[in-house]
Amino acid sequence: MNQVDYLRISLIDRCNFRCQYCMPEGEELNYILKQQLLTNEELLTLIKEVFIPVGFTRFRLTGGEPLLRPNVVEIVKQIASFPETKDLSMTTNGFVLAPMAQNLYDAGLRRINISLDSLDPVIFDQIISNRGRSRWQKVWDGIQAAYEAGFDPLKLNVVVIPDVNDREVLDLAALTIDKDWHVRFIEFMPIGNGHLFGDRGWISSEELRQRIHKRWGLTEGHVSGNGPADVFQIPGAKGTLGFISQMSECFCDRCNRMRLSADGWLRPCLLNEAGQIDLKTLLREGVSTLQLREQVRELLAIKPEINFKLRDSGTNVGNYTRTMSQIGG
């Protein structure tokens, strides 16, 4: 069991996209009211006085779409300023990133993951359920702005959906050849939405690796980060290819993370709500940060049991009531 020192922090549950693998079309979501969100002060208090003292040193800001959170640059600056912060990163859809990239970098953000599920604007808009003016170009502009600002590594996340974007795997992999970009292929998890993409289900990372190997060959690679990706490289490429295989290769026993939702729920597992703690309510009721720290330590102690229970069950689908966008992915 890895040391659990990595916290994924959802800043907001709202998003300006409606990706069908995250928020299936036609499903109404009950968004968190503004007063239910952790305030900036509450969030920073929890990080500084609860999470850092129990051993968390690596933080990723997520959503929904984290760049929709007011004062997000200031939040980045504050977290980056804590001496104990070893790593601070963000996952974004990139749509509003271009004008913010340099400010985020200057505030102390150094690593960024940007979702890019297709190089074809039509398919891209299909995946994000966009029916208006194409949003692809703004995302591409955000990627370029992040690259120019100096984010390293710059990772591009691709959820591979059968018969939708899987034919683009080679084109997306080729992005790593001439630029120090890192493309990560993520197995599609058909949780209540598999019918949207036909009968094929999901495509294994091994199948994708074989496609790429047949075209260029593959060698082992390395890129900094805290995630579960198996990393490879096209020979001579500047960037790398990562494969996240949550459907075909359970990695629960390697999990080193917890998740904090935008409304203050701490959960030890993406796909299981067992043991989760409502830190926001406890904080607002006047429970001391010392007591909260002890509750988090207790949850850390049972996390291996939760991880191994999911692994041994032979399934990656646990018990949960929130969508991916509400959890923070």
Residue 21: name the closest of 123, 209, 160, 136 by CA.
Answer: 160
- The pLDDT of residue 322: 53
pLDDT in tens, 201-223: 789 999 999 999 999 999 999 99
C-alpha–C-alpha distance, residues 11 and 261, integer Å: 7
How much is the average pLDDT of 97-113? 98
Of 129-133, 273-277, 324-328, least confident by mean pLDDT is 324-328
Our CA angle for 209, 214, 215, nearest 5°, is 100
C-alpha–C-alpha distance, residues 296 and 318, integer Å: 21
How much is the average pLDDT of 117-146? 95
- The pLDDT of residue 316: 44
- The pLDDT of residue 188: 79
β-pairing verdict for 265-267 and 230-233: unpaired
Residue 250: name the closest of 297, 293, 313 by CA.
Answer: 313
Strand stretches in the chain, DSSP E: 6-10, 58-62, 87-92, 111-115, 154-160, 181-187, 219-220, 230-233, 240-244, 257-260, 265-267, 277-278
How much is the average pLDDT of 211-240? 93
Residue 248 has pLDDT above 80, yes or no: no
C-alpha–C-alpha distance, residues 273 and 306, integer Å: 10
CA torsion angle 15 201 196 157 (round to 10)? 20
How much is the average pLDDT of 320-328? 54
- 42 pLDDT band, cuts 50/70/90, is very high
Q: What strands, in cross-sheet order, belong to the sheet with 111-115?
A: 219-220, 230-233, 240-244, 181-187, 154-160, 111-115, 87-92, 58-62, 6-10, 257-260, 265-267, 277-278
- The pLDDT of residue 314: 47
Our CA angle for 60, 12, 148, nearest 5°, is 50
Contact (CB, 8 A) for 89 and 37: no
Residue 24 has pLDDT above 80, yes or no: no
Chain-centroid distance of CA 315 in Å reads 21
How much is the average pLDDT of 251-256? 77
| Topology, domain 6-327 | TIM Barrel (3.20.20)
Residue spans per domain, the chain: 6-327
pLDDT in tens, 257-316: 999 999 999 999 877 777 899 999 999 999 999 999 999 999 999 888 876 655 455 444
- The pLDDT of residue 130: 87
Residue 308: CB atoms within 10 A of its CB come to: 13
278 strand-pairing partners? 265
Contact (CB, 8 A) for 276 and 266: yes
How much is the average pLDDT of 1-28? 82
Residue 327 has pLDDT above 70, yes or no: no
241, exposed or middle or buried, with CB in 10 Å at 0-12, 13-18, 19+? Answer: buried
Of 19-28, 147-156, 253-262, least confident by mean pLDDT is 19-28
How much is the average pLDDT of 147-166? 95
C-alpha–C-alpha distance, residues 128 and 244, integer Å: 21
185 strand-pairing partners? 158, 243
- The pLDDT of residue 224: 84
> Tokens for 182?
């890192």
User: Model-level pTM?
Assistant: 0.90
β-pairing verdict for 111-115 and 87-92: parallel
C-alpha–C-alpha distance, residues 232 and 214, integer Å: 14
Residue 13 has pLDDT above 60, yes or no: yes
DSSP string, 275-306: T-EEHHHHHHTT--HHHHHHHHHHHHHHHHHH
Of 58-67, 163-172, 299-308, 315-324, least confident by mean pLDDT is 315-324
